[in-house]
Chains A and B, each alone.
Chain A
């Protein structure tokens, strides 16, 4: 990766133009990609459609390839239908349901959008779809949210990594959460500065997250981690909207994520040789599915 992008610079540019971060991102991405703004949004609308379909597919209750996960999204849905007491309120509860649904659809070889990766594909749709009704968002707004999310992902990719094998799960679910938090703040009417604060605070809260897939599969802990990541995104977005700020500036937080990723042992970077993967139960699953190591 040649150039380190600076989110700080882009946030400032948006503020100087007196623009929302979403509008700024769309304009400069259109120029950079030699596409019209409308063409970008149309593509994002298609992507949003696939995200929604993957959430619906997961809710039907699917079985994963390795057989470790499945049907937890439908458990959440029936819990909600029974109107049992929600501990976190409807937005977070819906986000959890969607994150599990997309994660399970993914683990069952369903059609999903890698955003930024397949393993972390539940987080972004979870946050966007959970905010659709409460913020009275139209589909085109969600498409604009995807543009903001994509820009955040590009900055993270240039300064750190989006790959669990390179940077641990902080690079996958952590990045997905930061992308979702940025989109949430922008869609809620937050300033570019608040978008940056949300990204910084999300990554701070996800820093050091290891990638320890049981039997090497994108099932455990990946699916449930998407739900956690979606909640982290909403927590950071809420703080940012309230005016809470990160002490460490956003680009520096992303750089810290890069150095934490490098410092992380190889056993904790998608090799299935550490963390949950080597617990007695994790090892038993590995042996059951693929034989002794």
Chain B
């Protein structure tokens, strides 16, 4: 936590958890999908489900999915702007269980290429957020650091190749987690770094053996 986490974010009201955090969750959903969102089915859980209209959480989530910042003055009108720009967005209430954070959301996002992605996350206070699940993989992703997310085959060396590219580019790894469903199957890797990751590195990583996809995730 630093000074600007306490004095900030600059945001559109009324609630850092229900509004600014919701924008950031939308931003993360869009970044994880990795392309323009075409349709979004948004499941709201707990306090999000109870009070989303009064807090403008629906508008904030839509703004986030459009890629806007927490202080974008258009947030109150985001639902209309989303509809005009061809983003189809629907809201439902869901029960994600007792263990889910009271301010949780579940996105099912379809991109312009037809790609579908499911993202679960929570707004945990003061505008801070955490993504807890991507396409069924349990993850933990805050978006506070420059981050890359890979989907790759669970093979020896798949991870080492990625980290060696980062190290040769002078990118320091702050935190890293690897998830897999089954040995030798599809795995996910989240690498949070101190330095931003450039387009060139991203392209090289994409072409590595065993890498299915790589996405760069970073909140403003």
User: Which A residues have a C-beta under 8 Å from some C-beta of B?
Assistant: 1, 29, 32-33, 40, 43-44, 46-47, 50, 64-66, 105-119, 121, 124, 146-147, 149-151, 153-154, 157-158, 162-163, 165-166, 179, 215-219, 270-272, 289-290
Contact residues of B between 41 and 95, Cβ < 8 Å to A: 47, 50-51, 53-56, 59, 71, 73, 75-76
B113 contacts chain A at the CB level, 8 A cutoff: no
Chain B: CB-nearest residue to A151: B3
Given A113-B7, A113-B8, A118-B16, 14 extra CB contacts under 8 A = A50-B10, A64-B14, A112-B10, A112-B12, A112-B13, A113-B10, A114-B11, A116-B6, A117-B15, A118-B20, A121-B13, A154-B6, A218-B13, A289-B53
How many residues on B have C-beta within 8 angstroms of the other chain's C-beta atoms? 36
Give the contacting residue for B54; candidates A33, A66, A162, A179; CB below 8 A: A66
B5 / chain A contacts, CB cutoff of 8 Å: 154
How far is the CB of B55 from the nearest CB of chain A, in Å? 6
B13 / chain A contacts, CB cutoff of 8 Å: 105-112, 118, 121, 218
Cβ-defined contact, A158 with B1, below 8 A = yes
Give the contacting residue for B1; candidates A157, A179, A217, A219; CB below 8 A: A157
Cβ-defined contact, B6 with A153, below 8 A = yes
B19 / chain A contacts, CB cutoff of 8 Å: 109, 118
B71 / chain A contacts, CB cutoff of 8 Å: 50, 111
Residue of B8, B16, B18, B56 most packed against chain A (CB within 10 A): B16
B125 contacts chain A at the CB level, 8 A cutoff: yes
Question: A29-B3, A110-B12, A112-B13 are contacts. A290–B20 as well, Cβ < 8 Å?
Answer: no
Cβ-defined contact, B54 with A32, below 8 A = no
B17 contacts chain A at the CB level, 8 A cutoff: yes
Chain B: CB-nearest residue to A143: B7
How far is the CB of B44 from the nearest CB of chain A, in Å? 12
Residue of B8, B53, B54, B73 most packed against chain A (CB within 10 A): B54
- Taken together as a complex, chains A and B put the C-alpha atoms of A46 and B53 apart, in Å, by 30
B53 / chain A contacts, CB cutoff of 8 Å: 65, 289-290
Cβ-defined contact, A47 with B10, below 8 A = yes
Cβ-defined contact, A65 with B55, below 8 A = yes
Residue of A105, A111, A158 most packed against chain B (CB within 10 A): A111
